[in-house]
Amino acid sequence: MQRVALAIHHSEVILEEGFLYSDEVIEVLKPISTKFALFCDTHVAELIGSKWCIYLNEKELDVSLFTFPPGEHEKNRERKASLEDQLLSQGFGREVCIVALGGGVTTDLIGFLAATFCRGVPLVHIPTTLLGMVDAAIGGKTGVNTPFGKNLIGAFYSAQNIFIDPTVLSTLPTQEWINGMAEVIKYGLIRSQPLFASLKTDRNFYKSVISECISIKGEVVEADFNESTGLRRILNFGHTIGHALEHVENYTLSHGEAVAMGMLVESYLSHHMGLLSSQEFEEIQQIIRSFPFQLTLSSRVTIEKVGSAILLDKKGSGQFVLLEKIGSCHPFEGKYTTQVSPMLLQNALQWMIEEFGVIE
């Protein structure tokens, strides 16, 4: 596979199979610092991190490995403070380059650590999940969760380098593929009809699909880095309903499946608002249903509960991103979101419950 190099808002992205064990990786890292702190969860350390750290040391880079337990619950202020204290107690200071190797939990948590450690030190992201490669590691959002909600404390802080080596995906469990797939489909729907069309036949996420998704996220982020103009909201397509379903299902539904269902419901809304043609709505359903998503809801899901959860969602606040066609969102005068009538929302949720069955 050819190397793909992209520049996205102060980040140099290199996408290449085998890049982690190439001579070039050393050439890129060496000028950044003389001291590196490599962070990953213990699961990723076992699969990739420990071996890669030895490789880097053998190539005469001064790299120390720091690990923490895997899981979303680790993305919190306490874990960040404990890792910071480890760095400080071992004498690391302003000169350190922080390397975050892992999924979105790692790049969010460690990215935030890099943003505040000694008031900000160089950061390299190496995403190892499909979701991390196409979404979480791109775009400079870092942060942690609090008891009051997800991602409420954080910073916009760009990694100066992002290395994407798709060979690491060979060990990714199915459920993690599914979480990434939903985001890949989303990029096609919001920004690229050809990408969406290619998903009918090309499910080889090792190749062009990953770079196409990164380009789309990069283009959107470049235009609206701090979420000030509105365009960045289109990345939330499918997530207003998706987050509400995750909440009502008590997080037993995977994020990817919730977003897949969210995209179907928000496509229904787009169609019934007179924006998306019935033919395209049909096509979206066909493609999403052809992926291995478990599109089933439990009896916990009622119109009332989903409706209330939509209003609780801090990101969506009851607003929806709607498609005007496959590959394009309606701009709504630059806001890129709109409210829908309570009656239409009710009909859409009724349709969802009828379609995706209620299982006990």
3-state secondary structure the chain: CCCEEEEECCEEEEECCCHHHCHHHHHHHCCCCCCEEEEEEHHHHHHHHHHHHHHHHHCCCCEEEEEECCCHHHCEHHHHHHHHHHHHHCCCCCCCEEEEEECHHHHHHHHHHHHHHHHCCCEEEEECCHHHHHHHCCCCEEEEEECCEEEEEEEECCCCEEEECHHHHHHCCHHHHHHHHHHHHHHHHHHCHHHHHHCCCCCCCCCHHHHHHHHHHHHHHHHCCCCCCCHHHHHHCCHHHHHHHHHHCCCCCCHHHHHHHHHHHHHHHHHHCCCCCHHHHHHHHHHHHHCCCCCCEECCCCHHHHHHHHHHCCCCCCCECCEEECCEECCHHHCCCECCCHHHHHHHHHHHHHHCCEEC
Residue 183: active-site member:
yes
Q: How far apart are CA 146 and CA 176, in angstroms?
A: 23
Residue 139 as a binder of ligand NAD (CB under 6 A): the answer is yes
In the stretch 24-43, what mask flags binding to ligand NAD with x, by CB under 6 A?
Answer: -----------------x-x
Q: At 311, list the tokens.
A: 């209003």
Q: How far is the CB of 325 from ligand NAD (least distance, A)?
A: 25
Candidate residues 132, 166, 316, 327; the one interacting with ligand NAD per rule CB under 6 A: 132
Stretch that binds ligand NAD, among 2-10, 133-141, 192-200, 340-348 (CB under 6 A): 133-141
Residue 313 as a binder of ligand NAD (CB under 6 A): the answer is no
Diameter of the chain measured on Cα atoms: 65
Residue 141: active-site member:
yes
Task: List Cβ neighbours of 17 (8 Å cut-off, separation of 6 or more).
Answer: 1, 165, 166, 167, 206
Q: At 14, list the tokens.
A: 């290199």
Q: How far apart are CA 342 and CA 345, in angstroms?
A: 5
Residue 75 as a binder of ligand NAD (CB under 6 A): the answer is yes
Candidate residues 104, 242, 262, 316; the one interacting with ligand NAD per rule CB under 6 A: 104
Stretch that binds ligand NAD, among 83-91, 130-138, 244-252, 340-348 (CB under 6 A): 130-138
Q: Of the listed 16, 75, 161, 183, which one is catalytic?
A: 183
Residue 243: active-site member:
yes
Single-letter residue type at 321 = V
CB nearer ligand NAD, residue 33 or residue 161: 161
Residue 136 as a binder of ligand NAD (CB under 6 A): the answer is yes
Residues 45-64 that bind ligand NAD (CB under 6 A): 47
CB nearer ligand NAD, residue 104 or residue 218: 104
Residue 11 as a binder of ligand NAD (CB under 6 A): the answer is no
Q: Of the listed 141, 247, 271, 330, which one is catalytic?
A: 141
Candidate residues 80, 125, 141, 247; the one interacting with ligand NAD per rule CB under 6 A: 141
Number of residues that bind ligand NAD (CB under 6 A): 29
Residues 161-190 that bind ligand NAD (CB under 6 A): 168-169, 171-172, 176, 179
**Contact 88/121 with Cβ under 8 angstroms?**
no
Residue 207: active-site member:
no
Q: How far is the CB of 360 from ligand NAD (least distance, A)?
A: 28
Residue 304: active-site member:
no
Residue 100 as a binder of ligand NAD (CB under 6 A): the answer is no
Q: Of the listed 17, 72, 84, 227, which one is catalytic?
A: 227
Single-letter residue type at 235 = L
Residue number with the smallest Cβ distance to ligand NAD: 104
Q: How far is the CB of 204 from ligand NAD (least distance, A)?
A: 17
Residue 146 as a binder of ligand NAD (CB under 6 A): the answer is no
List the catalytic residues.
Answer: 119, 141, 183, 217, 227, 232, 236, 239, 243, 255
Binding site for ligand NAD (CB under 6 A): 41, 43-44, 47, 70, 72, 75, 102-106, 108, 128-129, 131-132, 135-136, 139, 141, 150-151, 168-169, 171-172, 176, 179
